[in-house]
Chain A
Amino acid sequence: MTSEAELVSPGIIALTWFDLAVAASLILVAALVSLALKLGITSKIAVAALRTTVQLSLVGLILQWVFALERWYLVLALLSSMIINAGVAGVRRTQRRYGGIWTHGLFSITVCGLITTFVVTELVIGVRPWWEPRYIIPLMGMVLGNALTALSLTLDRVTNDLEVRRAEVDSWLALGATKWEAARPIVADAIRTGMIPIINTMSVAGIVALPGMMTGQILAGQPPMEAVMYQIVVMFMIAGACAMAALLSGLLAFRALTTARHQVASHLLRKIDG
């Protein structure tokens, strides 16, 4: 077992709860601005700050527990719950839903999360054992966080367009198009939409801000070039995951909302209020 002092790398300054209290003064500024200008979001700021603290603390506790116990099945359980949460969160952001959209969201997230994380931890980094939580949990977390955005943007766009642009699709169908020939522009638009955030992120990486993981590694005392190499791998991993999530969810939604007789079944969509 490592002693208390060795848990922290030599270069890093550990924070105390007192330090967190000092940082909390910054959130007080936000709250005071809201009060002074009557923005009406004071309570929201308080709740959000509290949620951040509680949620991250809980995750910290769970991670410390999982790291300490070193059991592959605990890691697997944690990964599974992350995947399910990501799938649900991705679908929850859509405005139109159909029967099966939850299954499709979950399936897309699972496939892209497992494949990209496997490629990076097994083939690129070579993590041993394969379930070493220090690597696999944060890496898959980054994949899922970005893939769920790609998923929700794609699903939202494809379901919206199959309803709003239905006349366009129907007009091509009426001229003898197959359902894929008629709806391909809409599915392609949706997949493109899902991939835009990660393309933007990759384009400005390092110019506008240092990516979070690289920042963390540098703060933890790693040489910047090593942190950069890790960050590049992570960017590619996320881009691959977003592409897969967008493609899978776009195609699954297309399949669910068209019929074997080459019709648009947009009546299966329900609009969600709010």
Chain B
Amino acid sequence: MFILQARDLSVPPASSKAVASLEGPVSVGLTAGDVVAVLGPSGSGKTTFLRCLAMLEPRAQGDVFFRNELIEPSDTPAFRRLVAYLPQQPPAVPMKVEDALAHPFSFRSAKGADFDRGAAKQLCGRLLLPSDVMNRWSPDLSVGESQRIALVRTMLTKPQVLLLDEFTSAMDPAGMAEAERLVTEWLKEGERAAVLVSHDSRQRTRLANRTITLEQVRPETMDED
């Protein structure tokens, strides 16, 4: 059985170049233990593809199934908690790091789960973040630090599928190694799978067991870039 399956995903090109598109149609199925690396030239829509899998793209066409079931619109928040998208550049939110880490537990989809401060602190330590990081102001973090905080935050919500978008691109080698180890261990903890977008071919080799390739976008769309 597929944990996560996508059928014929695409996003039609828009008149505005600021709006994302995905040539497609792209289909993929993830079984337990799968880590699929997404390949394709710059501008082919790798990020858009991950966002489609997380159902964040309002213009997306095609279907996404979680454990063979279509997701009702109202179940989307609960689905996204299980199929977690990590953006390449986590946006700075105007709050303290600890509050940003705890915030997802105030959502209805948390279903009463409580923020575990001890677990958060331990994960921060594992990812070699400074011991006072939880008291820092989120916008003051470096990109590498906010990538690690974003990973901690997502891990605390106990996802079953990770959609990783250049998740270590701004980390130093030691931080990257720890982040990869964290993901690898998480994969073994249950029926888990991940989709990986990474420019680092060695990282793809280390983490992924197979690849899919997105088509080059149409030339006229390229001109708008």
Q: Which residues of A contact B (CB under 8 A)?
A: 165, 167-168, 170-178, 181, 259-265, 267
Contacts and interface: CB of A to CB of B under 8 A. Distances in A.
Contacts of A262: 73, 76-77, 80
Contacts of B25: none
B108 interface: yes
The residue in A165, A178, A263 that gathers the most chain B C-beta atoms within 10 A of its C-beta is A263
B85 interface: yes
Contacts of B46: none
B116 to A, nearest CB: 15
A171 B73 contact: no
Nearest to B108: A178
Contact of B157 (A167, A175, A181): A175
The residue in B77, B81, B85 that gathers the most chain A C-beta atoms within 10 A of its C-beta is B77
Interface residue range, chain B: 35 or more
B19 A267 contact: yes
B91 interface: yes
A174 B73 contact: no
Contacts, number: 81
A174 B58 contact: no
Given A174-B80, A267-B14, 15 more contacts: A168-B91, A171-B87, A171-B150, A172-B104, A174-B56, A174-B86, A176-B78, A176-B81, A176-B104, A176-B109, A178-B77, A181-B77, A181-B107, A261-B55, A262-B76
B107 A175 contact: yes
Nearest to A179: B77
A260 B74 CA distance: 7
A178 B19 CA distance: 22
Given A167-B91, A168-B91, A175 B104 contact: yes
Nearest to B55: A261
B109 A177 contact: yes
B9 to A, nearest CB: 14
